[in-house]
Amino acid sequence: MLRDLCASLGFDEIDAYQVELAACEAMVNVIRHAYRNEPGKTMMVGAGAEDGRLVIEIEDRGVPMPAERVRDLKEGVEIAEVDSRERSSLRESGRGLQIIHDVMDEISYESEGGMNRLRMGKLIAAARREEQ
CATH superfamily to which 2-131 belongs: Histidine kinase-like ATPase, C-terminal domain (3.30.565.10)
User: pTM of the full predicted structure?
Assistant: 0.82
Domain ranges for the chain = 2-131
Beta-carbon count within 10 A of 23 CB: 19
Residue 16's nearest CA partner among 104, 112, 99 is 104
Cα separation of 79 and 99, whole Å? 9
Mean pLDDT across the stretch 20-43? 96
pLDDT in tens, 72-115: 777 665 444 445 555 555 445 567 888 898 899 999 999 999 99
The sign of the CA dihedral 56, 61, 66, 67 is positive
